Amino acid sequence: MQDREAGELLLEKRFSIEGGNFIHAGGVSSSIKKILKDIGIRSEIIRRASIACYEAEMNVVAYAKKGEVTFRVTQQHLQVLFKDEGQGIENIGLAMQEGYSTATDAIREMGFGAGMGLPNIKRNVDHLNIESMVGVGTTLEMIIYT
Amino acid sequence: MQRYLLSVAVIEEKCTGCMKCMKKCPTEAIRIRHGKATVMEDRCIDCAECMKVCPTRAWVARTDSYASLSRFKYKIALPAPALYSQFSRDVLPDTILKGLRELAFDDVYDVTYASEVFGVVLKDFFESYQNARPAISSVCPVVVKLIQVKFPDLTDLLVPLESPRGIAAMDAKLRMSKKLGIRYEDISAVYITPCPAKIIPITQPQCKEVSPLDAAISIADIYGLLLSAMRKASSKQEELHLSGADGISWAITGGELRYLGTEGCLAVDGIDNVIEVLENVEDEKISGIKYLALRACPGGCVSGALNVDNPFLARNKILRLAQMFAQRKSVGREQVRAFYQQGFFTCDIKPRPLPMEPLDRDTLRAIQKIKERDKIFETLPRIDCGACGAPTCRSLAEDIVQGRAALTDCIVKLLERGKA
């Protein structure tokens, strides 16, 4: 997945996400937002990246044991990889449909799990690739052209 | 570009370089240089947290002085609703307004009345508002500045209506000019302000091309004078204070909720909380909210830096006054229409984004600087002691990369080298 035509790699940062920890959820996406502001990326791009990263981060927190995030800035685009160890997605096609959700009541009670996560990511990025294995985990790659 | 004038300044002789303001500043705009606090002007949002926390009163407000009002021909005092909370519990707004008139003012105007008119107009705006993202109250100048500087993408969400105090100023001038047959231009509106930030929209208008207000003087500055003037004021019955509970409640957070209801309207105060909720708006994490009533000061204007009384007591007094005047009828549609016809609410200009600079205007160089900064940061002690003059180790790393500081500024590193 990584060898998409991208031009030179300019910056790479790694973060980790703790599954089930809703208190610190959102930290990775706000770190990424801060870096993008420091770089001076166009605000429209920052907005899309922040929304997509936040959704992806919440998915890891809600459905996985833990996750690793790799954030790359290349000459042409931003690439963010979310790789988690978790329950995986059984049917990616279904998961991409708005309103479809496998969230437990506990997660819904916290205001998550409305089935808008993946569709919302898709709306905000230029490319979205999902690979998942049930019981093992999910890898999500998103690309936004700068 | 127009140089930004701050509403606060530090008096060097009084500053001991204790770092309290630097640590408190929500935008990391303060550095200690040569033992004195200095401000990075493009980051300051005029919240006056520095002033509130300073133990030596080295921070002062750049409001107008009482003496300087003599430059105006005719002047009207327009007290912020918060002024009604600054006296003992049995003092009513009418007494305060009479007292103000005894001072160097030709007349007084009850701003809470204009606030009620504004509330009705805001309700109309709210009901027809169609946008996925919430409208943001533009009443608090700190919130406006914060959005311009830190959330430039959200400037379009600021409510495009003249503020209650601006509306009050125009109505006050118009009435006086009719009553006395004098020129509108010869009349000046002086706001009696609970915070330094209110001076900003006067010097840098954000709605009308020219600010309807002409000056702002601090509540604390005239407090003593006003107290004795209130004692001298006549006990004759006069209807100066015109508002009911709705108008009075503008002094505290959520005054708008009295008009808009709690459905779809969220009130947030305290600068850090405001920053957090704006981050959420930026990331579209907030849904079901159409309007954000934001105030930089905890509890609202009653805890502005230029007030005299304890903010909690002040808030209590506002609630008490609101109860006392709860039966009074709020402004009617005819009054609102009269304000409308004058074009009081319409904005000719809007606040423009004033984004903080990225690390470098050149993307490649900015990325290079991020790498350098993070590398420097790794070598720092990360205890955020502040002794270098920057609020955090991270901000020191950034200052070094930007050429504003040196690695040798770090005391801990210096000690390490001494031991080696």
Question: pLDDT tens, B228-271?
Answer: 999 988 788 888 999 999 999 999 998 999 999 988 999 999 99
pLDDT at A2 over 60: no
pLDDT at site B10: 96
- Compute the residue count for chain B: 420
Q: Lowest-confidence range among B101-115, B328-342, B359-373?
A: B328-342
CATH 1.10.15.40-classified regions of chain B? 361-420
B160-188 confidence digits (pLDDT tens): 999 999 999 999 999 999 999 999 999 99
Q: Three-state SS string across B259-312, please?
A: HHCCCCEEEEECHHHHHHHHHHHHCCCCCCCCEEEEECCCCCHHHCCCCCCCHH
CB contact under 8 A, A11 and B152: no
- Among B27, B277, B279, B284, the strongest candidate for a mutation testing the A interface, having the largest count of A CBs within 10 A, is B284
pLDDT at B57 over 90: yes
Residue A70 β-bridge partners: A14, A81
B284: distance to nearest CA of chain A, Å? Answer: 7
Of A107 and B102, the structure prediction assigns the larger pLDDT to B102
What is the pLDDT of chain B when averaged over all its residues? 94
Residues in chain A with CB shorter than 8 Å from the CB of B282 are: 33, 47, 50
* pLDDT tier for residue A1 given thresholds of 50, 70 and 90: very low
- The pLDDT of A135-146, averaged and rounded, is 94
State the architecture of B1-61 in CATH terms. 2-Layer Sandwich (3.30)
pLDDT at site A35: 95
- The pLDDT of B115-127, averaged and rounded, is 95
User: Quick one: tokens of B1?
Assistant: 């570009």
* pLDDT tier for residue A7 given thresholds of 50, 70 and 90: confident
B268-282 confidence digits (pLDDT tens): 999 999 999 999 999
Residues in chain B with CB shorter than 8 Å from the CB of A33 are: 282-283
pLDDT at site A98: 76
CA A24 to chain centroid, in Å, comes to 16
H or E element at residue A14: strand A9-18
Task: Choose the closest CB to A39 out of B153, B283, B358.
Answer: B358
Tell how strand B74-79 and strand B215-218 pair up: unpaired
Tell how strand B265-269 and strand B291-295 pair up: parallel
Of B283 and B403, the structure prediction assigns the larger pLDDT to B403
A54: distance to nearest CA of chain B, Å? Answer: 8
pLDDT at site A92: 82
CB contact under 8 A, B282 and A47: yes
The CATH code belonging to domain B67-341 is 3.40.50.1780
Burial class (CB in 10 A: 0-12, 13-18, 19+), A130: middle
Size of interface A-B (CB pairs under 8 A): 48
- The pLDDT of A120-124, averaged and rounded, is 92
Residues A20 and B402: their CA atoms lie apart, in Å, by 39
Dihedral angle sign, alpha carbons of residues A28, A34, A40, A46: positive
pLDDT at B2 over 50: no
* pLDDT tier for residue A103 given thresholds of 50, 70 and 90: confident
CA distances from B272 to B51, B152, B277, B280, B297 (A): 16, 17, 9, 13, 10
- Write out residues 5-24 of A within 8 Å (CB-CB) of B: 10-11
Domain ranges of chain A: 9-145
CATH fold of A9-145? Heat Shock Protein 90 (3.30.565)
- The pLDDT of B131-159, averaged and rounded, is 96
CB contact under 8 A, A40 and B364: no
Chain A CA closest to residue B285: A51
Decide: helix, strand or coil at residue B124.
helix
- The pLDDT of B67-87, averaged and rounded, is 97
Percent of chain B with pLDDT over 90: 89
Residues B118 and B339: their CA atoms lie apart, in Å, by 9
pLDDT at site A25: 85
What is the pLDDT of chain A when averaged over all its residues? 88
Please report, to the nearest 10 degrees, the dihedral formed by the alpha carbons of residues B21, B27, B29, B30 taken in order: 20
Please report, to the nearest 10 degrees, the dihedral formed by the alpha carbons of residues B262, B268, B269, B272 taken in order: 170
Residues B173 and B183: their CA atoms lie apart, in Å, by 9
Say which residue the tokens 């502040």 belong to. Answer: B386
Residue B104 near residue B66 (C-beta atoms within 8 A):
yes
B9-44 confidence digits (pLDDT tens): 999 999 999 999 999 999 999 999 999 999 999 999
Is the CB of B41 inside 8 Å of chain A's CB atoms? no
Largest CA-CA distance found in chain A, in angstroms, rounded: 45
pLDDT at site A80: 97
pLDDT at site A115: 67
H or E element at residue B368: helix B363-379
CATH 3.30.70.20-classified regions of chain B? 1-61
Contacts of B350 (CB under 8 A, 6+ apart): B155, B158, B160, B206, B207
First to last CA, chain B: 49
Say which residue the tokens 């935008």 belong to. Answer: B27
Is the CB of B284 inside 8 Å of chain A's CB atoms? yes
Contacts of B289 (CB under 8 A, 6+ apart): B134, B264, B265, B266
CB contact under 8 A, A50 and B359: no
* pLDDT tier for residue B1 given thresholds of 50, 70 and 90: very low
Is the CB of B67 inside 8 Å of chain A's CB atoms? no
Residues B419 and B399: their CA atoms lie apart, in Å, by 26
Tell how strand A127-133 and strand A77-86 pair up: unpaired
Residue B389 near residue B409 (C-beta atoms within 8 A):
yes
- The pLDDT of A3-24, averaged and rounded, is 85
pLDDT at site A5: 59
B199: distance to nearest CA of chain A, Å? Answer: 30
pLDDT at site B235: 81
- The pLDDT of B201-207, averaged and rounded, is 93
Residues B229 and B102: their CA atoms lie apart, in Å, by 6
- The pLDDT of B72-96, averaged and rounded, is 96
Task: Choose the closest CB to A10 out of B358, B361, B367.
Answer: B367
State the architecture of B361-420 in CATH terms. Orthogonal Bundle (1.10)
Residues in chain A with CB shorter than 8 Å from the CB of B369 are: 38
pLDDT at A113 over 50: yes
Contacts of B265 (CB under 8 A, 6+ apart): B126, B256, B257, B289, B290, B291, B292, B293
pLDDT at B3 over 70: no
Phi, psi of B95 (to 5 degrees): -65, -40
First to last CA, chain A: 19
Burial class (CB in 10 A: 0-12, 13-18, 19+), B104: middle
Decide: helix, strand or coil at residue B215.
strand
Tell how strand B187-193 and strand B215-218 pair up: parallel
Burial class (CB in 10 A: 0-12, 13-18, 19+), B224: exposed
pTM of the model: 0.92
Beta strands in B142-288 (DSSP E): 187-193, 215-218, 265-269
